[in-house]
A and B are shown apart, each in its own frame.
Chain A
Amino acid sequence: MPALNWKIAGAAGEGIKVSGLILSKALFRQGVNIHGYTEYPSLIRGGHNTFQVAASIEKAHAPKVALDVMVALNANAVLNHQEEFTDQTAIVADLNLIKNDLTGFKRQNQIIDIPLAKIARDSGGGLLVKNTVALGASGYLLNLPLESLNQILTETFARKGEEVVKLNHQAASLGYDYVKTNFPDKKLNFAYPGKPPADKIFLTGNEAIALGAVAGGLKFYTAYPMTPTTAILHYLAAHADQFGLVVRHGENEIGVVNSAIGAAFAGVRSMVATSGGGFSLMTEGLGLSGVTETPLVVVLGMRPGPASGMPTWSSQGDLLFAINASQDEFPRLVFTPGDPAEAFEAARLAQNLSEKYQTPALVLTDKYLSESYFTVDRFADQHLNQRHSLADSKALPNDQPFPRYQLTDNGISPRPLPGTPGGVHLTNSYEHDELGYATEESKVRTAQVDKRNRKFASMSQEESLPQPVLFGPQNAATTIVSWGSNKGVIRQALNLLPDVNFIHLPLVWPFPEKTLAKLLASAKKLVTLECNSTGQLNRLIREQTGITIDRKLLKYDGRPFYPEEIVEKL
């Protein structure tokens, strides 16, 4: 399968991500699928940043290790990445700047030595356009038409004025020409279709979640910034007027969750997003949503913890926390999307189902899914929504409290929205009777718990819930079971593993017992794969099905699995 693997690395603040995105877009427009993956420390300046772009004619699910081109903006960008180099890797570097630090580096002959700093200065753009020179150089190596790079530079810098655009074009062409003149035979033999893949888009998991929520009727979004979901706040804030949303950066996560519940009580669909630390602060609010039967969608972007952990890295350590957070018991949904397509759908469904069942819905993501770039099928433009579980305003009693928590067969009690004549009622965080008034009566308490639990039984039957899916051959010697963002990586690994298949869980709660049991029954050797240290899905499967899976592939260093790693460990 024809594919390219490019990476840029340098210090934080050097514009690594912008450069990676420009190249990604240029490649995408030439008709290839793109996967972009970024690593960076929790710092604004200094530190080591990377952006990796995997491009392929067929679907790219995940980046591989071995690089075709590395753009090294400093010595660490060479020395820290030696395991990713093969004999074919072209290393673009300005030896004027880093020669002395590379003594002992064995692949000197693979260095495409280009005076990035000098060319940048000569171009008139100064050191600011050093990356653009490197992009031009990369363009030649990747056989990318210079015009396609220039087009994206225009789009990226148009806001800063014509002069800036011109300087960048100049810098790109100087970089391109320098490599063409001095390293003509280093050009990769890669043929591009020449036009963007039809009906594809290129975006992050965070952007997909934001769009999915909007498609599902989101009106009120509030959050307190926390990696890796901060970009949802940025995206929705920037588009609030376009979509007709209220977006509020709240005073803290406790205020955030309680105001989202308030807005939902008043009748609008609301959502919050955070990471484990913020979610910890929100847990009492989660229970408030549960017992008051007020819809709430929470996006939980996982990163390594506990406490502050490794803020800008990835993890899957919060699976059981998401399922169990808050005191006592109430129904909830926990989606575990594996890619932006599933993330979009999860966020859209979460809005609808949370309203229908009047209970919280969680969308679990992680830094890898939230902040990486993926090429996916374009989402539908038009999305129809129905309002769910609202009281019919014509049938309401007058001057009587409305039975907000009426005992019903499916557990769902219709709710009138504040302001509706005749619907006056109390929504209560205390245990309550059918009218909403606080109670400590044994029978009433039991009846209300049972009523809420009946919603869990009803939602478990919900047809729209995403079910476990099998990838790879029907019959295989080994079956990998996993969830969330490992999906792409494992699918990529399957290309190298003919006798292995893979079961992905896009939703873990209500636990998809029936579908999974069926799939597990026909599997031979089972292994679970997760980015945590104890195998939380493995534990959950045993708890829910009685099936013990002895083998676990675990990784918890903050990095996602690489396909090659899976092949090796299996």
Chain B
Amino acid sequence: MTTNLHSPKRVTALPPTWCPGCGNFGILGSIKAALDQLTVTPDQAVFVYDVGCSGNMADFVYAYGFHSLHGRALSSAAGIKLANHHLPVISVIGDGGCFGEGVDHFIGLSRGNHDITVLTHDNYLYSLTTGQKSPLTPKGTVTPSTPDGTIDEAFNPLGVAILNQATFVARGFAGDIPHLTKLLIAAISHSGFSLLDILQPCPTYKKDRSYAWYRDHIYYLDQEAGYQTNDRKLALQKTLETDRLPVGIFFEETKPAYHQQVISLKDTPLVSQTIDSINIGPALKEFI
């Protein structure tokens, strides 16, 4: 990849408020690099942020942004895409927002193959609300809301995405910016629902999963001999691995996105269709 010499402004004047060592710094770095390499200008991208430490990125990215409600970023993102399908729509959301509060939207929009890029900042916790369990927290983990250890089994986001017909499913690591950047570019370029689940160290509340821990536990799927990204069953199998965590593209396929199957969007984005003069005359015949 070549670096873009005319890289536009990517960040605002506000200094990030994340804790030192937070995985969100690495993710923000990758986002900047990916946009540069895709040559997407700030006015041609829309970011939708959920509510969480991850969503606080809203104040730091210089691009069109919508800071939505907790758990609802994907719904707002889907609406934006249907209104203007020429714009790439990227949502930044925590594992709590995406797989807890908003899991119904995640599943529904995945099945519809809505053309949105979903970046889940996966720190295995609710960080902004001071470290309670998230749907991804491994069973038995002690957190402020589960002092005797969580009783629930952990959610499998990549598996659920694959089973619900997501057309791009990948996992990245906030500590490997070049690799994450490549995944981001692939996810944003993909037409259809893309989930990029990002392993994100939280040095404040999840001390047992440091950068070093992740480096010891991840391995790269693209270095795995014979791994094919078009094999749904194989991909599903990979999502079940918890001792070692595969990163890279698990699964991808080409299918028409939701907006490509909506008749009124065939020619022009909805937002460009004029409403200056509307004739309801022909429709009134039905009522005589």
Does A546 reach chain B (CB closer than 8 Å)? no
Interface size class for chain B?
A: 35 or more
Stretch of B62-70, B118-126, B178-186, B197-205 with 4 or more beta carbons under 8 angstroms from chain A: B62-70
Task: Give the residue of A245, A288, A381, A422 whose beta carbon is less than 8 angstroms from that of B280.
Answer: A381
Does B279 reach chain A (CB closer than 8 Å)? yes
Stretch of A51-59, A101-109, A211-219, A463-471 with 4 or more beta carbons under 8 angstroms from chain B: A211-219
Q: Once bound together, how far apart are the Cα atoms of A258 and B82, in whole Å?
A: 13
By the criterion CB–CB under 8 Å, are A259 and B271 in contact?
A: no
Q: Once bound together, how far apart are the Cα atoms of A330 and B284, in whole Å?
A: 37
**Chain A, 354-365, contact with B by CB distance < 8 Å: what is the 0/1 string?**
000000000000
Given contacts A251-B105, A418-B64, contact A382 B262 (CB under 8 A): no
Given contacts A220-B270, A267-B84, A428-B58, contact A292 B66 (CB under 8 A): yes
B50-76 with Cβ < 8 A to chain A:
51, 56, 58-59, 62-69, 72, 75-76
Q: Once bound together, how far apart are the Cα atoms of A203 and B104, in whole Å?
A: 36
Q: What chain A residues lie within 8 Å of B108 (beta carbons)?
A: 250-252, 255
Stretch of A170-178, A236-244, A520-528 with 4 or more beta carbons under 8 angstroms from chain B: A236-244
By the criterion CB–CB under 8 Å, are B83 and A266 in contact?
A: yes
Q: What chain A residues lie within 8 Å of B35 (beta carbons)?
A: none
Q: What chain B residues lie within 8 Å of A258 (beta carbons)?
A: 68-69, 72, 75-76, 79, 105
Task: Give the residue of B67, B264, B273 whose beta carbon is less than 8 angstroms from that of A428.
Answer: B67
Q: Which 5 A-B pairs have the closest CB atoms?
A: A262-B79, A251-B108, A381-B281, A259-B79, A217-B275
Q: Once bound together, how far apart are the Cα atoms of A288 and B71, in whole Å?
A: 13
**Chain A, 240-281, contact with B by CB distance < 8 Å: what is the 0/1 string?**
111111101011101110111111111111100000000000
Does B1 reach chain A (CB closer than 8 Å)? no
Q: What chain A residues lie within 8 Å of B107 (beta carbons)?
A: 251
Q: Once bound together, how far apart are the Cα atoms of A421 and B65, in whole Å?
A: 14
Does B78 reach chain A (CB closer than 8 Å)? yes
Q: Once bound together, how far apart are the Cα atoms of A224 and B80, in whole Å?
A: 19
* Total chain A interface residues with beta-carbon distance under 8 A: 75
Does A196 reach chain B (CB closer than 8 Å)? yes
Q: What chain A residues lie within 8 Å of B76 (beta carbons)?
A: 258-259, 261-262, 265
| Interface positions of A (Cβ within 8 A of B) | 28-29, 196, 200-203, 207, 211, 214-215, 217, 219-220, 222, 239-246, 248, 250-252, 254-256, 258-270, 284-285, 288, 292, 378-379, 381-387, 399, 401, 417-430, 436-438
- Residue in chain A with minimal CB distance to B8: A399
Q: Once bound together, how far apart are the Cα atoms of A379 and B282, in whole Å?
A: 12
Return B165 CB to nearest CB of chain A, in Å: 14
- Residue in chain A with minimal CB distance to B47: A426
Q: What chain A residues lie within 8 Å of B8 (beta carbons)?
A: 399
Given contacts A258-B72, A429-B69, contact A263 B14 (CB under 8 A): no
By the criterion CB–CB under 8 Å, are B278 and A383 in contact?
A: yes
Stretch of B38-46, B142-150, B211-219, B236-244 with 4 or more beta carbons under 8 angstroms from chain A: B38-46
Does B109 reach chain A (CB closer than 8 Å)? yes
Q: What chain B residues lie within 8 Å of A260 (beta carbons)?
A: 79
Q: Chain A CB within 10 Å — which of B14, B262, B270 has the most?
A: B270
Other than A251-B75, A255-B75, A426-B66, give 5 A-B pairs with Cβ distance below 8 A. Answer: A201-B284, A258-B68, A261-B79, A262-B76, A382-B279
By the criterion CB–CB under 8 Å, are B46 and A418 in contact?
A: yes
Q: What chain A residues lie within 8 Å of B51 (beta carbons)?
A: 429
Interface residues of A, dominant DSSP: mixed
Q: Once bound together, how far apart are the Cα atoms of A419 and B271, in whole Å?
A: 11
Return B4 CB to nearest CB of chain A, in Å: 16
By the criterion CB–CB under 8 Å, are A211 and B280 in contact?
A: yes
Q: Chain A CB within 10 Å — which of B56, B68, B77, B282 has the most?
A: B68
Q: Once bound together, how far apart are the Cα atoms of A189 and B18, in whole Å?
A: 83
Return B256 CB to nearest CB of chain A, in Å: 15
Q: What chain A residues lie within 8 Å of B254 (beta carbons)?
A: none
Return B38 CB to nearest CB of chain A, in Å: 16
Return B227 CB to nearest CB of chain A, in Å: 32
Pull 11 A–B residue pairs with CB atoms less than 8 Å apart, ordered by A.
Answer: A241-B264, A259-B82, A265-B83, A266-B79, A270-B83, A382-B278, A401-B62, A422-B43, A426-B58, A426-B65, A437-B12
Given contacts A201-B284, A262-B80, A263-B82, contact A399 B9 (CB under 8 A): yes
Q: What chain A residues lie within 8 Å of B86 (beta carbons)?
A: 419
**Chain B, 153-195, contact with A by CB distance < 8 Å: what is the 0/1 string?**
0000000000000000000000000000000000000000000
Task: Give the residue of B12, B80, B281, B288 whose beta carbon is less than 8 angstroms from that of A382.
Answer: B281
By the criterion CB–CB under 8 Å, are A242 and B84 in contact?
A: no
Return A453 CB to nearest CB of chain B, in Å: 22
Q: What chain A residues lie within 8 Å of B65 (beta carbons)?
A: 425-428, 436
Q: What chain B residues lie within 8 Å of A242 (beta carbons)?
A: 282-283
Return B129 CB to nearest CB of chain A, in Å: 15
Return B59 CB to nearest CB of chain A, in Å: 5
Given contacts A220-B83, A246-B262, contact A284 B69 (CB under 8 A): yes
- Residue in chain A with minimal CB distance to B13: A401
By the criterion CB–CB under 8 Å, are A429 and B283 in contact?
A: no
Q: Once bound together, how far apart are the Cα atoms of A255 and B102, in whole Å?
A: 9
Q: What chain B residues lie within 8 Å of A267 (beta carbons)?
A: 83-84, 271
Q: Once bound together, how far apart are the Cα atoms of A383 and B279, in whole Å?
A: 6
- Residue in chain B with minimal CB distance to A421: B43
Return B55 CB to nearest CB of chain A, in Å: 9
Q: Once bound together, how far apart are the Cα atoms of A436 and B58, in whole Å?
A: 10
Q: What chain B residues lie within 8 Å of A383 (beta carbons)?
A: 277-280
- Residue in chain B with minimal CB distance to A344: B280
Q: Once bound together, how far apart are the Cα atoms of A415 and B262, in whole Å?
A: 28
- Residue in chain A with minimal CB distance to B76: A262
By the criterion CB–CB under 8 Å, are A424 and B62 in contact?
A: yes
Does B224 reach chain A (CB closer than 8 Å)? no
Q: Chain A CB within 10 Å — which of B42, B265, B284, B287 has the most?
A: B287
By the criterion CB–CB under 8 Å, are A419 and B43 in contact?
A: yes
By the criterion CB–CB under 8 Å, are A239 and B287 in contact?
A: no
Q: Once bound together, how far apart are the Cα atoms of A254 and B63, in whole Å?
A: 26
Q: What chain A residues lie within 8 Å of B235 (beta carbons)?
A: none
Q: Once bound together, how far apart are the Cα atoms of A387 and B287, in whole Å?
A: 29
Given contacts A259-B75, A385-B278, contact A219 B67 (CB under 8 A): no
By the criterion CB–CB under 8 Å, are B72 and A254 in contact?
A: yes
By the criterion CB–CB under 8 Å, are A215 and B270 in contact?
A: no
Q: Once bound together, how far apart are the Cα atoms of A243 and B277, in whole Å?
A: 12
